[in-house]
Structure 1
Amino acid sequence: MSQSLLEIKQVDKTFQSSKGVVRALHNFHLQVRKGEFITLIGPSGCGKSTLLKIIAGLDIDYDGEVTLDGKRVRGPGIDKGFIFQEPRLFPWLNVESNIAANLSLRDRDVREKVKELIELVQLNGFEKAYPRELSGGMAQRVAIARALLRNPRVLLLDEPFGALDAFTRAHMQEVLLDIWQKNKTTMIFVTHDIDEAIFLGNRVVVLKPRPGEIKNVIRVDLPFPRKKASTSFQELRYKVLSEFETIDEMKLVDRAGI
């Protein structure tokens, strides 16, 4: 294996709830290479979103260690981009201003970078549009562009397409793959959809029920563009599905936000 960009080393995470102490993650260990697209999938409440927050530096109260470029993650920073389940755009700003966020479009470099990202996420012609004028998929593309503005070393995506209809979701998967293939930004993508995990990922990381722990890592060697109806795709789908031993585990709809 080539040198890892991101290393998650024996991470354990517990938190206090109304029912007592809950262990969200246990002995979680994963190495991610530069330019990889990792998808995480597992039963509801198995710690997928918690793991992303730890990698992002949004949660530093855990045991173990997370390193990026060999340096321990001690808090949030521009080297880590985060895409939430909803776009979280500023309603009073147009598309280009939302992408620029707290940077000034008067700066030529910022303006050129924003223009480049608008083209990358296929929003040409909507630069002056406001969030209320955008579809769900378009709004999420703005959020992706904003997260890429500072050239993060890793992009963390927490079920970003979960609220979209099936057709828009399929299109957004294609858009995201196009972005990844052009930029080769390392991505870690949480989903509860097996087809989505296989369609996007180089490796599918299957988590056990809480406390979250890796059950298996399945390599996806299918060439792009991938065809979901192909025999090889369906064989991989069965392989991932077979990792879930109960009906409850197979219902991968994640509503816990943990």
Structure 2
Amino acid sequence: MSEVLLEISHLNKTFQSNKGSVQALHNIQLNIKEGEFLTVIGPSGCGKSTLLKIIAGLDTQYNGSVKLGNLQVVGPGIEKGFIFQEPRLFPWLTVEKNIAADLSLKNADTRKKVDELIELVRLKGFEKSYPRELSGGMAQRVAIARALLRNPKVLLLDEPFGALDAFTRAHMQEVLIDIWQKNKMTMIFVTHDIDEAIYLANRVVILKPRPGSIRNIVPIDLPFPRKKSNVSFQELRFKVLNEFEKIEELELIDSSGI
């Protein structure tokens, strides 16, 4: 059995606004195993992206504990790769130079690693292309390769396929599964899409809002490759949808003051 790589204990996050303090996350407790693919889903405003940024070390103003391995997360580091909703590529650099980022391609080890990543994300032949010459899916693959360059222990993805069309999104899901299976890397993927959450994950974490907290964790025991049309997939989809309906019912009760 894989060891726990990421341990989140009694995590609470509060934002300050003109109207006072707003609690974004409440008592998040979650253990994520090495090599696991975890998806996080929930209504808008439930703290999905906030949770991801805290894990990444991009937000350190919280109460509780977030440990990667045996070390407390106190800031960004090469052990954590982060993929944003948009690729954020340097427009003046080619694909290979965007992947290399601040490392020189003249270094033999860097050159070899970049070439391997270009092959892995299926961009062979586009090494010399510029971001303006790439489709949205291709640009996001460059961003994924760049995040993998330093062999992070965990890859964090904040709705990376949200702006893509349905066909490209489905293709990118296959690319990501292929990367995960080949690298055995821990991945935490935030999404609004229930089918995507189930299709990718070993477990789906469902958050409820106001404040953001874990409503349920649904294990996904389907073998790969997966088919969204299968009865077993649809049963899991119904289970997750049922959790969302319960969240909506609770919100109606809260808003009515019952």
Look up the match of 1:240. Answer: 240
Instruction: Name the structure 1 match of 2:199.
Output: 199
* 1:132 matched to 2:132: yes
CA-to-aligned-CA distance 1:150-196 (integer Å, 9 cap, x gap)? 00000000000000000000000000000000001100000000000
The separation in 1 between residues aligned to 2:80 and 2:210, in whole angstroms, is 26
Instruction: Give 1:255's aligned residue.
Output: none
| 1:94-127, Cα deviation, whole Å (9 max, x unpaired) | 0000000000101000000000000000000000
Structure 2 regions of 5+ residues with no counterpart? 250-258
Q: Which residue of 2 aligns with 1:82?
A: 82
Q: TM-score w.r.t. structure 1 length?
A: 0.94
Q: Distance in 1 between matches of 2:122 and 2:3?
A: 33
Q: Which has the higher contact order (CA 8 A, sep 6+)?
A: 1
Counterpart-to-counterpart distance in 1, 2:222 and 2:210: 30
Q: CA deviation at 1:248?
A: 5.6
Distance 1:229 1:40 in 2: 22
SS at match of 2:245: coil
Report the alpha carbon displacement of residue 246 of structure 1 after superposing the two structures with TM: 6.0
RMSD of aligned Cα (Å): 1.2
Q: Normalized against structure 2, the TM-score is what?
A: 0.94
* SS of aligned partner of 2:138: helix
Aligned length in residues: 249
| Larger helix fraction of residues | 2
Q: Pairwise mapping of residues 224-239 of structure 1 onto structure 2 (< 5 A)?
A: 224-239=224-239
Partner SS, residue 89 of structure 1: coil
8 Å CA contact retained: 2:11, 2:29: yes
Q: Is the 8 A contact 2:2 2:35 kept in 1?
A: no
Distance 2:233 2:50 in 1: 29
Give yes or no for the alignment of 1:208 onto 2:234.
no
Which residue of 2 is the match for residue 142 of structure 1?
Answer: 142
Moved more, 17-26 or 52-61: 17-26
**Aligned equivalent of 1:50:** 50
Aligned partners of 2:30 and 2:247: how far apart in 1? 27
1:89-128 → structure 2 map (5 Å cutoff): 89-128=89-128
